[in-house]
């Protein structure tokens, strides 16, 4: 009579299990890469404007980059010590439902369309399409008011950034009018 013995798991199974148990390390790698990118960009930035005081245009990106590196390191230490992320719990989230890929794809299309159209059409027109398209993708079907709200919101955003904050946005064909 032969008895069946338990076979030890294969090394690849153990590695997959370890990676699954420590999947938050992927977020650490992403934060580390983003921190290095921000720091590299900040430290190689050409500063042609005159600086007033000790705080210049490099300060905030350097602080953000260092913060990203610190958070990545602290998260990696926590994960390697056995820390686990808490599962999503929210009163308005039904985890048994699948993701709404239609909405995600519509929003992605709206953002890409805005990125393509902002230069030839200008921010006021592209921004209005962005705001209206986002409202449509998220479920609003009020065709009588949504385009009007989007246009007003886009024009106000353009005026605040372009005129009050001094951040030049492309005006497109409306450049002479605005």
Range of the domain at 60: 11-47+56-80
The larger pLDDT score, comparing residue 73 to residue 21, is at 73
Least confident of 83-87, 99-103, 117-121, 137-141: 83-87
Residue 91 domain-assigned (yes or no)? no
Tokens read off for 40: 């590299």
Q: Count the neighbouring beta carbons within 10 Å of the beta carbon of residue 164.
A: 8
- Mark whether 113 and 144 lie in a shared domain: yes
Provide the number of structural domains found in the chain: 2
| pLDDT above 70: residue 50 | no
Dihedral sign from CA coordinates of 14, 26, 98, 87:
positive
Residue 3 domain-assigned (yes or no)? no
**Within a 13 Å sphere around the CA of 145, how many CA atoms are in the beta-carbon half?**
2
- Mark whether 76 and 141 lie in a shared domain: no
Phi, psi at 67, each rounded to 5°? -60, -40
| pLDDT above 70: residue 16 | no
pLDDT in tens, 128-168: 999 999 999 999 989 899 999 999 999 999 999 888 888 88
- Mark whether 106 and 70 lie in a shared domain: no
- Mark whether 113 and 154 lie in a shared domain: yes
Q: Of the ranges 21-25, 81-85, 116-120, 169-173, which is most confident?
A: 116-120
Residue 170, classed as helix, strand or coil, is coil
């Amino acid at each position: 009579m032969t008895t069946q013995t338990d076979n030890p798991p294969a090394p690849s199974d153990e590695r997959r299990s370890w990676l699954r148990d420590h999947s938050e390390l992927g977020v650490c790698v992403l934060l580390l890469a983003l921190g290095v990118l921000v720091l590299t960009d900040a430290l190689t930035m050409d500063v042609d404007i005159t600086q007033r005081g000790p705080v210049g245009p490099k300060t905030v990106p350097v602080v953000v980059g260092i913060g990203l590196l610190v958070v990545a390191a602290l998260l990696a230490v926590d994960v390697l010590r056995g820390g686990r992320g808490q599962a999503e719990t929210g009163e308005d989230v039904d985890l048994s439902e699948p993701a709404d890929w239609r909405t995600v794809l519509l929003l992605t299309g709206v953002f890409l369309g805005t990125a393509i159209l902002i230069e030839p059409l200008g921010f006021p027109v592209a921004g209005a399409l962005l705001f209206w398209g986002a409202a449509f993708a998220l479920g609003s079907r009020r065709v009588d008011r949504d385009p009007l709200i989007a246009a007003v919101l886009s024009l106000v955003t353009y005026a605040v950034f372009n005129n009050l904050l001094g951040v030049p946005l492309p005006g497109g064909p409306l450049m002479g009018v605005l």
